[in-house]
Structure 1
Amino acid sequence: MADTPNPIQIQKFLGGIDYPASKEDIVQRAKDSGADDAVLDALNAIPDKEYDAPTAVSEAVSG
Structure 2
Amino acid sequence: MASAAQASSVQELSASAFQKYLGGMDYPAGKQDLINHARKNNAPDAVIQVLEMFQDKSFQSAADVSQEFGRVK
TM-score higher than 0.5: yes
The aligned residue for residue 40 of structure 2 is 32
Alignment gaps of 5+ in structure 2: 1-9
Runs of 4+ in structure 1 deviating by more than 4 angstroms, as ranges, are none
Q: How many residues are treated as equivalent by the alignment? A: 62
Unaligned stretches of 5+ in structure 1?
none
Q: Which has the higher helix share?
A: 2
- TM-score normalised by length of structure 2: 0.78
Of the three residues 17, 24, 27, the one matched with 1:19 is 27
Counting aligned pairs with the same residue, the percent is 34
The normalised TM-score by structure 1 is 0.89
Q: Say if 2:48 is the partner of 1:44.
A: no
Specify which structure has the bigger relative contact order, considering alpha-carbon pairs within 8 angstroms and separated by 6 or more residues. 1
| Equivalent AA in structure 1 for residue 23 of structure 2 | G
Coordinate RMSD, CA, aligned:
1.3
State the Cα distance separating 1:57 from its structure 2 match.
0.7
